[in-house]
C-alpha cells in the first residue's frame, strides 16, 4: 500500500463543482484499495477525466430537467389553484343562497307565530276586559242590593 497519499476527508475536491473525483484522489484510492501505485501520466487516469466530463454534462441535463419540471409543475399548480378558487367561490355563493333561504324560511315561521300570538293576545285582552266589566257589574249589583 502507498501511505504517501492518504485521502483527507477535509480537503475540498479539485473539481470546482464537487462532481467527480480529482486525479490525485483516484491515485490514492487505487493505492489504498488495490495496493497499486498509478503514475500521474498513466492512461487509465484518462477514464477519470472522461467520467468527470460525463458527470458534468449529466448534471447539466438534470438541471435542465429540474427547471423544466419546476416550470411545468408551477403552471399546473397555478391552473389547479385557479380552478379550486373558482369552485370555492361557486360553493360560497351556493352556501350563501342556501343560508339566506334557510333564514328566510325560519323568519317566515317566526312571523306567522308572532301574528298568531298577537291575535291571541287581542282576544285575551278582550276576554279580560269583558270579564272585568262583568265582575264590576256583579260587584255593583251586589253592593246595591
- From 106, 86, 87, 109, select the one nearest 98 (Cα to Cα): 106
pLDDT tens track for 4-13: 444 444 544 4
Residue 2 in this model has a pLDDT that exceeds 80: no
Residue 17 in this model has a pLDDT that exceeds 60: no
pLDDT tens track for 49-101: 899 999 999 999 999 999 999 999 988 888 888 888 888 888 888 787 778 88
Tell me the domain boundaries of the chain: 1-42, 43-144
DSSP symbols for 77-99: HHHHHHHHHHHHHHHHHHHHHHH
Rounded to 10 deg, the angle between the 23-34 and 45-144 helix axes is: 100
Give dist(CA 74, CA 81) in Å, integer.
10
8-12, 22-26, 32-36, 126-130, range with the lowest pLDDT: 8-12
CB–CB of 56/19 below 8 Å? yes
Share of the chain above pLDDT 70, in %: 88
6-11 contact pairs (CB < 8 A, 24+): 6/32, 7/32
Amino acid at each position: 500500500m502507498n501511505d504517501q497519499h492518504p485521502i483527507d476527508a477535509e480537503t475540498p475536491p479539485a473539481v470546482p463543482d464537487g462532481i467527480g473525483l480529482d486525479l490525485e484522489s483516484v491515485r490514492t484510492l487505487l493505492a489504498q484499495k488495490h495496493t497499486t501505485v498509478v503514475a500521474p501520466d498513466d492512461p487509465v487516469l484518462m477514464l477519470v477525466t472522461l467520467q468527470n466530463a460525463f458527470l458534468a454534462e449529466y448534471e447539466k441535463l438534470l438541471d435542465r430537467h429540474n427547471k423544466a419540471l419546476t416550470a411545468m409543475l408551477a403552471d399546473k399548480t397555478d391552473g389547479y389553484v385557479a380552478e379550486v378558487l373558482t369552485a370555492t367561490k361557486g360553493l360560497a355563493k351556493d352556501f350563501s343562497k342556501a343560508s339566506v333561504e334557510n333564514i328566510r324560511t325560519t323568519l317566515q315561521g317566526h312571523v306567522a307565530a308572532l301574528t298568531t300570538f298577537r291575535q291571541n293576545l287581542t282576544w285575551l285582552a278582550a276576554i279580560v276586559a269583558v270579564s272585568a266589566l262583568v265582575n264590576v257589574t256583579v260587584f255593583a249589583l251586589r253592593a246595591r242590593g
